[in-house]
Structure 1
Amino acid sequence: MNQLLFDRSTGNLSPQAFARIQTSQLLHAIQPAPRLRFNGGEKEVAPATSSSGSLDPPINDPEEGRIWAHQAGVNALSIDIDGRFLVSGGADSSIKLWDLEENQGVRHTFRPTGTVARTASAHKFGITHLSFYPFDSAAFLSSSYDHHLKIYATETLALSANFDLNSIVYTHALSPIASHLLVACATQHPAVRLVDLRTGSSTHSLAGHHGALLSVAWSPVLEHILASGGIDGTVRLWDIRKSSGSLGVLDMEDSTGIAGFDGMGRGARGRDRGKAHQGTVNGITWTDDGSYIISAGHDERIRVWDAASGANTLASFGPTLKNGHLSNLPLVVSPTSLTPPRGEVLFYPNEKELLMFELHEGKLLKRLKVPGPVMPTVRSRTGERTIKNRITALAWRSAVDGIYSAHTDGQIRVWAPRTADDAIADKEEEDDLKGRIADEDESGKRKRKVLDDVFRDLTRQKISFG
């Protein structure tokens, strides 16, 4: 650090390079932050009485305690553009809003500032995806297994709009840069459904997939470009301005790509055959500069594609990947501004662990185990159940605040940077706390000794009656 400060002060290191080194170190220092917890206020049902008449012993889990964000399980997360509000969706169709700025230290339990309970106007089945407006925190969208896409006002949690797509909505996406307000929806239907929030109607569909869709993602630099993946193993690119819409598919056998007349794919004949994965494609995202597309499939592979040419970069992520659920798989790539060029980090939810990869080489940087039991037991109104804990959603906040994850055991967990300086500060805080406790114990001992001496003096005195 001293050398970095010296290089910065002498001008050998630019402010941008200095900042990237610092944020890159924070990124690589991410680890579980179990002291930050989310309590949705749901109570555990009393233990059942056994045949002998005694109560079942409580499950002792000092790390997690018996609190949940959503007791039935958390299916979806989203953090607003300012990094202040987090919205979570449960398997029981409830939605909760959390204020992340209420945290005042390394140990804190968040409580929801508002809840959308299961009512006539709310979702009937589990939430599948949540997203804030990318340009404003005033509203957020939710989709569900009940075939509906809904819009809620963040401040009041009042329902603003409701769209019935007549099919399970696995995920949806809003462009982060577009002037249009089109929501792309991946549903059981084999066409990408586009919903216009301005007119309140489903404008048109993009046909080409064979089977249900599980993932969609807009380009972060070109407002009319969209990528989608489905159970047919293909990743298709679309230009919503074209009558046909399709720009072609990504082919895992192609490591060269399509050059076109300008080196950016323009003017080239679109590829209409080829598969991106040998199984269902349920995860798609872009790097925030729009240069690369990342896809994940049930063949337990991650592939990185050159967005300009469609070439498979052949990045290899090894044999550790797990992916087999018929749901959208959340993939998060760190912002390009945080790391040196081609140094982005991919966060991959590998069932009960969070894997951190170097994006372009596929090198495994960290394997972060989810705290808590592998098969947690939850008692609810419907009885006792044991579930296999896994990560269902990821939401990036910042280099300092890290990343948030949703889990089927009902928890929302935080993964935050912890540097050597943080460890020293925590040790000093712990030592200070122990010192105060020791001082209080010593003071208590002195007081007890004085009382004991007074009692003994009184009992030693002889009392005579005249």
Structure 2
Amino acid sequence: MLHTPGFAHYALAWSPFHNNRLALASAANYGLVGNGRLHLVSLGPGPGGQPALSLDKFYDTQDGLYDAAWSEVHENQLVTASGDGSLRLWDVMLNDLPIRAWHEHTREVFSVDWSNIQKDIFASASWDGNVKVWSPERPRSLTTLHAHQACVYQGLFSPHQPDLLATCSTDGTLKLFDLRAPAYAAGPGANSFTAPLTAAALTVPAAGTEVLALDWNKYRPMVLASAGVDKVVKVWDCRMVKLGAGPGAGEQAVGGVCEVPLVGHEYAVRKVQWSPHHPNVLASAGYDMTCRVWSTTPTAAGTHLLYIHDPHTEFVVGCGWSLYDEGILASCGWDCKLNVFRI
């Protein structure tokens, strides 16, 4: 366990290059007002086979940090999402300032995701309703999607198809965007920077309330998990679609079949992540101060719940599987604590 007094954690990210390196996106005063901090953490062997954590370095920011994503190209670089609408690219070999910064979003940036297929781009999702695609080498965004009329909580690239991106929102939907779709062909002099793209390839009415989190299954293309205010983790097969009236004008692809609802959290679920090692295992974190591990196939006892991790004393808002060790999971929360544990 690592304790960082004064800074509540919003998200964690495992390095794709080092099996013992994590980043923590944090904010003072629970992210409501005040500074942010990016923590860099190392994992080592500890007593009893449990991991031991050490804080290597931290960077202070003028506003709270809500998410972080490691570069898929440079082992020492990562990007952070900030409450002031900005994105910053950091190099962990440098001691103070970010090496690049962008500020196009007009509200909090709540999610960043680095494509692990097209490794030179990343995406950001904001409460301004927009998702933007970026290159670290460009001074402004490559593409803007006006994905939802309300807050966008996450925007994630598919791990199977480089031009497919999923979003979730306050409006209760998941949406899939195909960046190659003919609907995105701009007219003369038009571009997505000045005229954001809005046409979703698929809209999934996932909940009657806010959808706070989503994740792609790493083994099954077009299968996603969602979670939110309704306290249920839902697994969707987005290949089961039909034409119907979407949230916007006209007909569009809507649907998606909920394969299994995973019920057990007592309050809203803030994070969901599929295991990178097993196609039927996923983890979730929620306001009930727990991190839970599920199987989409029932156990011999007839339950989907495999494990509950409950040492946190405040909201658990982040969780993530180790990319190298299938038995290790990390969780972080508003109690200013990062827990890394073997299940």
TM-score using structure 1 length: 0.59
Per the alignment, residue 115 of structure 1 pairs with 58
Counterpart secondary structure, 1:299 = coil
Counterpart secondary structure, 1:205 = strand
Counterpart secondary structure, 1:316 = strand
Q: Which runs of 4+ in 1 moved over 4 A?
A: none
1:166 matches 2:110: no
Kindly state the Cα deviation for residue 360 of structure 1 after the two structures are TM-superposed. 5.0
Per the alignment, residue 90 of structure 1 pairs with 26
Where in structure 2 are the equivalents of 1:40-439 lying within 5 Å? 68-81=3-16, 82-92=18-28, 93-100=36-43, 102-103=44-45, 105-106=47-48, 110-117=53-60, 123-157=61-95, 158-164=97-103, 165-179=105-119, 181-242=120-181, 243=184, 246-251=199-204, 275-291=205-221, 292-310=223-241, 311-318=256-263, 320-323=265-268, 329-335=270-276, 338-339=277-278, 344-350=280-286, 351-359=288-296, 363-371=303-311, 374=313, 389-397=314-322, 398-400=324-326, 402-417=328-343
Amino acid of the structure 2 residue aligned with 1:86: L
Separation in 1, partners of 2:147, 2:74: 33
Q: Is the radius of gyration larger for structure 1 or structure 2?
A: 1
Q: 1:183 to 1:134 in 2, by over 3 A?
A: same
Uncovered stretches (5+) of structure 2, i.e. residues with no partner: 29-35, 185-196, 242-255
Counterpart secondary structure, 1:113 = strand
Preserved contact between residue 125 and residue 146 of structure 1 (Cα < 8 Å): yes
Separation in 2, partners of 1:94, 1:332: 23
Kindly state the Cα deviation for residue 143 of structure 1 after the two structures are TM-superposed. 0.8
Separation in 2, partners of 1:115, 1:308: 43
Separation in 1, partners of 2:297, 2:145: 30
Preserved contact between residue 192 and residue 205 of structure 1 (Cα < 8 Å): yes
Separation in 2, partners of 1:182, 1:363: 40
Separation in 1, partners of 2:228, 2:110: 15
- How many residue pairs get aligned? The number is 298
Separation in 2, partners of 1:366, 1:314: 18
CA-based RMSD of the aligned residues comes to: 2.4
Separation in 2, partners of 1:136, 1:245: 32
Amino acid of the structure 2 residue aligned with 1:110: L
Preserved contact between residue 178 and residue 201 of structure 2 (Cα < 8 Å): no
Counterpart secondary structure, 1:289 = coil
Deviation sequence 1:263-313 (CA, Å, 0-9, x none): xxxxxxxxxxxx221111111100112421111122223221224345313
Amino acid of the structure 1 residue aligned with 2:21: F
Kindly state the Cα deviation for residue 357 of structure 1 after the two structures are TM-superposed. 1.4
Deviation sequence 1:71-100 (CA, Å, 0-9, x none): 332222111013221111221311221222
Identity of aligned residues (%): 17
Preserved contact between residue 391 and residue 407 of structure 1 (Cα < 8 Å): yes
Kindly state the Cα deviation for residue 416 of structure 1 after the two structures are TM-superposed. 0.5
Moved more, 358-367 or 238-247: 358-367
Amino acid of the structure 2 residue aligned with 1:411: K
Amino acid of the structure 2 residue aligned with 1:317: L
Kindly state the Cα deviation for residue 182 of structure 1 after the two structures are TM-superposed. 3.0
Deviation sequence 1:194-221 (CA, Å, 0-9, x none): 2232212122311242211111111001
Separation in 2, partners of 1:192, 1:296: 19
Amino acid of the structure 2 residue aligned with 1:138: N
